Structure 1
């Protein structure tokens, strides 16, 4: 029981810290939009930041999936000194690797940015290379942070690693506000680099408090290091494959009008808000249950749990997707259209957001289906399927960008993710048998029908409110969005009750459990 309470408390700490971090991160995006808009300069920054952000994603997953269990084994089964030796060796190897990588990338930066943004003109390429070199040292801090976070998690300390992204965002905001007018877009790059350094330093006192002692040792033959590297390879490969379409998307966007890359980035940030909150809220309680049932070979209960998780995704994310789809332009206008962010920037970004909204459901389904394979201790199949999904996304991007511009690139992601989900489902069904019973398909139809009615009500009411509530002020615009959105959500859930969708009880139970966990963790 105490272990269950400990896990619940850890989960609630991570979720609250993640929510706070995402909120501050979104404030950062609003500050950037106000200061620099969506322009050739912000395009250059987004491209320059692409590689560090991909490395951060890869290492966060890799160290938690590979180093953490190995370090835990040494911590529990052997003496603490041997665990410290493993940690020190790994830290030093990571430092050597990234210092070498940074040096090489600094020299080759003009060629790297040309590869990432082939459509940029000479001035944009020069600016991107400059920003890339400013950000590059952050790679060292990102690498070390991923490792230190895994070590702290092994010591059952979750708060500081979870708060780390907030530190980076706050430092970046400070740099932009203090130096934006003097340094221009370089202030954003410098703030990003210093922000990651601050995030790294933020975690060191906790490491020392936990009894960790740093030593300058490197043991290439350490069995723990070899095991960690072996476990990391498929995880890193999976992340790289998953991020490949991002490189292609930004490369193709670089051939469009200036500001297109930034518009995609802003729209993607808005799309990630519901995903970041609700996917974590559902995955945290569902994944351990999937793993337990898989280990006991209770596949009937595993499928039942999977169906409940997917049902919750649809219940929560359908209204989120509908809201972003029907209110895309007013949402972007409210969040970003101030300072240097122009009306034209709003139109382009809203267009991207409308199609990104279609990616919300397949994105969440990919997450839970992939976790189902992990619960079955199959990490290879999802990587291979991710490669096919990535190729599909790239193909759709190449076809649609010529017809639809920025919107085509966003739609390409939604279609590519849908291909990924379809293949995951086919292969999972081969392992488990038929997953979705006929009555669940009827439930899905009811949820989609309620979502369609919500879309109609939201769009019509927003337009009707235009006659009574002017959107010339931010307050008026916010009021219209809230009224239309709230009415749409109420109609959606009333429709679900009218159609007798039983999964509403699961959603209510999840909300109550999350509320209780957060209250108990205080």
Structure 2
């Protein structure tokens, strides 16, 4: 770099006073992220004494079962700047409506995916992995763990979506990190109790319990935060969507008994159809509007106009 001209002021050196506010703002986010990722360490620690192959079954099951969660959280990731801008402008009404809509849409996506995973878990695992040393016994064990993991997918999605509402605020919030630590404590305690009698499935069940507790704590705490979500209305809507997913799971499991190459697509088609019909019958939120917007005649009319 060229030397500074005579008389020019040197750039100010970074001081600890300027770094401290940044660290204070990032600390809650870092603690939350590290705590959430430590769930995997807790599971692997509990699975270490189990018979050979248990950790592999957990790994395979977790990676496949979490795909619906990843798809559902894409929606919340895209809308996060919208919520943040609305809060910065003081428009809490827009932030609340967008956050509630995104939570319910994410719930629809993850529940359809979870129902498909539970209905066709052996067929999915067999299609993806059953070759070579990965035999039928591995498929059955992985599918069993994957079905239990799927029970916590709604909680996983809600945690990933709700935390965006907390971290959209201008001030650092420690509540999400505390809720996550509470969920990890439950995962560790339940996993220690369940791993002995139920093995890898017990650890997966502990994971589902812990993350569901964290989601419930985050949902309850939002009433006191910058995005004033209606926790009771959200819980009621998610309960109706979950009931529709339970009915759809039974239909998907019946269709998954078909020919192996078609079992997974048939199960997914059955789950989607029955979930949509049941959700509309139960007057669940979001789904009826999605059906109306997807009507081919409505799309054609909009295109002509």
TM-score bracket for the superposition, by shorter chain length: 0.7 to 0.9
Q: Flag the 1:297–1:317 CA change in 2: closer, same or farther, 3 A.
A: same
The alignment status of 1:408 with 2:171, answered yes or no, reads: no
Match of 1:335? Answer: 128
**RMSD across aligned positions (CA):** 2.9
The alignment status of 1:380 with 2:163, answered yes or no, reads: no
- Between the aligned partners of 1:376 and 1:259, the Cα distance in structure 2 is 44
Q: Flag the 1:263–1:447 CA change in 2: closer, same or farther, 3 A.
A: same
Preserved CA contact (<8 Å) 2:123 2:264: yes
Aligned to 1:481, the other structure's residue is in SS state: helix
Q: Flag the 1:234–1:492 CA change in 2: closer, same or farther, 3 A.
A: closer
Spell out the pairing of 1:121-136 with structure 2 (5 A cutoff).
Answer: none
Preserved CA contact (<8 Å) 2:61 2:142: yes
| Matched positions, count | 280
Match of 2:78? Answer: 285
Give the drift of 1:298.
2.9
1:481 aligns with one of 234, 239, 264:
264
Q: Flag the 1:242–1:284 CA change in 2: closer, same or farther, 3 A.
A: closer
Preserved CA contact (<8 Å) 1:253 1:261: yes
Spell out the pairing of 1:439-454 with structure 2 (5 A cutoff).
Answer: 443-454=237-248
- Between the aligned partners of 1:437 and 1:372, the Cα distance in structure 2 is 13
- Between the aligned partners of 1:366 and 1:334, the Cα distance in structure 2 is 30
Preserved CA contact (<8 Å) 1:260 1:406: yes
Preserved CA contact (<8 Å) 1:312 1:506: no
Give the drift of 1:434.
6.7
Structure with the larger helix share: 1
Could you list the per-position Cα deviations for residues 349-392 of structure 1 after superposition, in whole angstroms to 9, with x for gaps in the alignment?
11110111012110110011111011123342222222222212
Give the drift of 1:403.
2.2
The alignment status of 1:358 with 2:120, answered yes or no, reads: no
Unpaired segments ≥5 residues, structure 2: 1-12, 295-305
The alignment status of 1:496 with 2:279, answered yes or no, reads: yes
Q: Flag the 1:432–1:331 CA change in 2: closer, same or farther, 3 A.
A: same
2:183 aligns with one of 380, 385, 389:
389
Match of 1:109? Answer: none
Could you list the per-position Cα deviations for residues 196-215 of structure 1 after superposition, in whole angstroms to 9, with x for gaps in the alignment?
xxxxxxxxxxxxxxxxxxxx
Spell out the pairing of 1:177-192 with structure 2 (5 A cutoff).
Answer: none
Preserved CA contact (<8 Å) 1:250 1:261: yes
Q: TM-score, normalised by structure 1?
A: 0.49
Match of 1:199? Answer: none
Could you list the per-position Cα deviations for residues 256-311 of structure 1 after superposition, in whole angstroms to 9, with x for gaps in the alignment?
0101111101111102222222211x113321222122223333332222211111
- Between the aligned partners of 1:455 and 1:342, the Cα distance in structure 2 is 26
Match of 1:254? Answer: 48
- Between the aligned partners of 1:258 and 1:454, the Cα distance in structure 2 is 35
2:116 aligns with one of 323, 328, 350:
323
Give the drift of 1:446.
3.4
Preserved CA contact (<8 Å) 2:223 2:231: no
2:140 aligns with one of 330, 347, 352:
347
Match of 2:298? Answer: none
Spell out the pairing of 1:233-244 with structure 2 (5 A cutoff).
Answer: 233-244=27-38
